[in-house]
């Protein structure tokens, strides 16, 4: 078993560190944020992630997992340092590598024995080469250091499972020493290992994430066309899914992909292509479709209503997807400001995301209320929007909209209800890529101009 240090206790770093400890390695997680480290030392996870906190507490108690801000102690005698710090998006779409550079410099100035540095953060192709050179430029002691790429593919909410039961481990290095050590570190996971060059590993991460983003944008594009021609995207997706070449996952049309990865990684790959004199047309299209898709419900509602002024609007779901409190690039953030601007009184319900949303939109400054139960949002409401498919929101029955709302007018961005059930309950219902239910009749109310115009002019 190895002595591993992990730089960064965000989603990537913390989950990796806890999972390495779980399989028996001795792990020290390092972060500059003292408050976060204090929380972690007390067994409290700063992120909402199924199973993480328990696993963290168990491994800390076993003495295999420790947290510190003292990077010197953590790095000096580590066999391997995994870097899992953030690479936030910059205004031009490129990735900000300053956190990686800081850790690289700390490693260079502290290591006292041979050390394998492993970059887990998503970084532009070629970054690992630069990180290795950077460490070698600043290294103080006469020890061997090599840098390998080991991207992760965890999704928020299922991060622990995605790590312990990953579909594959990507090891990117051109050195036998680094490859053998990484293979041994990952041996206890008993998972398929794909060993490639460093640059290919870096590209696999972007190519995988962006392929999934492309798949979602493709389905959203087809969904918009389904509305215009009278087809149903859910039936279309089901029919497509039987073809193993297409697969059954990531075919759900909705209000666009959000989160910390897809929006950032599509823009970063687009930027990387342009830097290299190439136009990545597929990914540019995925980005454009996604930008439009996020406000499609707002535009449908604007077509239906002459004003939002004074209306009570129920917003169901704030986070970018269920089982997370993360709001990054969430469709709610694209829609709620528009509703507030138009004078709506917003009543927002989310099982865990309200506190984060409140920080951006406090009740004292905006006409917004955060409620604890969906019924409070729906009661006497004129309109309701569904932005996240939480179980608590799926549990709302079609007749609840009819009974609780002043006017049962529902705009569903996640297609969580059957058309028939809403029609039977007497709810006016607009969703994505399906026929609308208006006055108990199914009609075609799509938003052809705004979507297409923006697409062609973008
Ligand atoms: C994603 C990848 O799944 C993961 O492999 C990668 O490492 C990081 O990015 P995450 O952002 O946590 O993970 O969430 P994911 O569950 O993949 O969903 C991303 C977005 O796509 C969400 O906004 C979700 O609502 C949307 N989505 C997903 C769809 O609109 N339709 C789908 O069929 C699937």
- The ipTM (two decimal places) reads 0.98
- Residue of minimum CA distance from atom 33 in ligand 1: 250
Closest atom of ligand 1 to CA, residue 258: 23
Q: Rounded to the nearest whole angstrom, what is the distance from the C-alpha of residue 26 to the centroid of ligand 1?
A: 31
Asked whether residue 372 is marked as a ligand-binding residue, the answer is no
For residue 258 and ligand 1, the question of a CB distance below 6 A is answered with yes
For residue 156 and ligand 1, the question of a CB distance below 6 A is answered with yes
CATH class of 3-196: alpha beta
Q: What is the predicted pLDDT for the residue at 94?
A: 85
pTM, rounded to two decimals? 0.92
CATH class of 207-457: alpha beta
Q: Collect the ranges in the chain with pLDDT lower than 70.
A: 440-458
Closest atom of ligand 1 to CA, residue 256: 30
Q: What is the predicted pLDDT for the residue at 367?
A: 97
Closest atom of ligand 1 to CA, residue 388: 25
- H helix and E strand count, the chain: 20, 16
State the CB neighbour count (10 A cutoff) for residue 353: 26
CA dist 66 and 54 (Å) reads 14
**How many angstroms separate the most distant Cα atoms in the chain?**
78
Q: Rounded to the nearest whole angstrom, what is the distance from the C-alpha of residue 94 to the centroid of ligand 1?
A: 21
Q: Per residue in 123-158, is it b (16+ CB within 10 Å) or e — as a string?
A: bbbebbebbbebbeeebeeeeebbbbbbbbbbebbe
| Catalytic annotation present for 29 | no
Q: What is the predicted pLDDT for the residue at 105?
A: 96
Helix (H, G, I), strand (E, B) or coil at 146: strand
- Residue of minimum CA distance from atom 2 in ligand 1: 155
Q: CB of 369 within 8 A of CB of 346?
A: yes
Q: Rounded to the nearest whole angstrom, what is the distance from the C-alpha of residue 156 to the centroid of ligand 1?
A: 8
* Candidates 19, 29, 226, 261; catalytic one: 261
Q: How far is CA 297 from the centre of its chain?
A: 21
Q: CB of 29 within 8 A of CB of 13?
A: yes
For residue 316 and ligand 1, the question of a CB distance below 6 A is answered with no
Q: What is the predicted pLDDT for the residue at 89?
A: 83
Q: Rounded to the nearest whole angstrom, what is the distance from the C-alpha of residue 275 to the centroid of ligand 1?
A: 27
CA dist 9 and 29 (Å) reads 7
Judge if 3-196 and 207-457 fold alike in CATH terms: yes
- Residue of minimum CA distance from atom 15 in ligand 1: 155
Whether the CA torsion 55, 61, 62, 68 is positive or negative: it is: positive
Asked whether residue 436 is marked as a ligand-binding residue, the answer is no
pLDDT tens digit string along 321-370? Answer: 998 889 999 999 999 999 999 999 999 999 999 999 999 999 999 999 99
pLDDT tens digit string along 134-191? Answer: 999 999 999 999 999 999 999 988 999 999 999 999 999 999 999 999 999 999 999 9
Q: What are the structural domain ranges in the chain?
A: 3-196, 207-457
Q: What is the predicted pLDDT for the residue at 156?
A: 87
Structure tokens belonging to residue 364: 């004292």
- Residue of minimum CA distance from atom 21 in ligand 1: 257
For residue 151 and ligand 1, the question of a CB distance below 6 A is answered with no
Question: Could you give the C-alpha distances from 126 to 132, 241, 265, 268, 303, in angstroms and in order?
Answer: 10, 36, 15, 13, 48
CA dist 151 and 115 (Å) reads 19
Q: What is the predicted pLDDT for the residue at 448?
A: 44
Residue that has been written with the tokens 């169901």 in this structure: 316
CA dist 203 and 127 (Å) reads 11
Q: What is the predicted pLDDT for the residue at 304?
A: 95
Q: Identify the CA nearest to 303 among candidates 407, 448, 440, 205.
A: 448
CA dist 64 and 50 (Å) reads 20
- Residue of minimum CA distance from atom 27 in ligand 1: 257
For residue 121 and ligand 1, the question of a CB distance below 6 A is answered with no
**Length of the chain in terms of residues written:** 458
């Amino acid at each position: 078993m190895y002595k591993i240090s992990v730089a960064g206790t965000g989603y990537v770093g913390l989950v990796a560190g806890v999972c390495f400890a779980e399989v028996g390695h001795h792990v020290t997680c390092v972060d500059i944020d003292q408050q976060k480290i204090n929380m972690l030392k007390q067994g409290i996870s700063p992120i909402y992630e199924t199973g993480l906190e328990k696993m963290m507490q168990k491994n800390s108690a076993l003495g295999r997992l420790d947290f510190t801000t003292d990077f010197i102690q953590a790095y000096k005698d580590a066999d391997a340092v995994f870097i899992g710090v953030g690479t936030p998006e910059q205004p031009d779409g490129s990735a900000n590598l300053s956190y990686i550079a800081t850790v690289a410099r700390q490693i260079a100035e502290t290591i006292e024995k041979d050390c394998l540095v492993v970059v887990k953060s998503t970084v532009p192709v070629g970054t690992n080469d630069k990180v290795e050179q950077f460490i070698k430029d600043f290294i103080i002691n006469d020890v061997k250091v090599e840098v390998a790429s080991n991207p992760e593919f965890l999704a928020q909410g299922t991060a622990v499972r995605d790590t312990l039961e990953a579909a594959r481990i990507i090891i990117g290095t051109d050195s036998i020493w680094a490859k053998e050590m990484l293979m041994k570190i990952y041996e206890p996971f008993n998972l398929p290992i794909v060993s490639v060059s460093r640059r290919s590993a870096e590209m696999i991460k972007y190519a995988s994430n962006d392929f999934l983003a492309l798949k979602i944008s493709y389905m959203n594009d087809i969904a918009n066309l389904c509305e215009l021609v009278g087809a149903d995207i859910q039936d279309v997706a089901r029919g497509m899914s039987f073809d193993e070449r297409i697969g059954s996952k990531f075919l759900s049309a909705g209000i666009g992909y959000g989160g910390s990865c897809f929006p950032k990684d599509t823009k970063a790959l687009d930027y990387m292509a342009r830097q290299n004199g190439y136009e990545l047309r597929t990914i540019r299209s995925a980005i454009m479709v996604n930008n439009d898709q996020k406000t499609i419900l707002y535009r449908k509602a604007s077509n239906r209503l002459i004003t939002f002024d004074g209306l009570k609007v129920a917003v169901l779901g704030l986070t970018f997807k269920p089982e997370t409190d993360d709001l990054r690039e969430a469709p709610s953030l694209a829609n709620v400001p528009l509703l507030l601007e138009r004078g709506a009184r917003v009543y927002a319900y989310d099982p865990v995301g309200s506190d984060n949303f409140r920080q951006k939109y406090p009740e004292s400054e905006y006409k917004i209320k955060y409620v604890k139960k969906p019924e409070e949002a729906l009661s006497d409401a004129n309109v309701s929007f569904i932005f996240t498919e939480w179980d608590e929101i799926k549990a709302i029955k079609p007749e609840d909209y009819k009974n609780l709302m002043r006017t049962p007018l529902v705009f569903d961005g996640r297609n969580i209800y059957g058309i028939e059930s809403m029609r039977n309950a007497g709810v006016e219902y607009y969703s994505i890529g399906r026929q609308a239910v208006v006055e108990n009749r199914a009609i075609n109310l799509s938003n052809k101009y705004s979507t297409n115009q923006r697409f062609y002019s973008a």
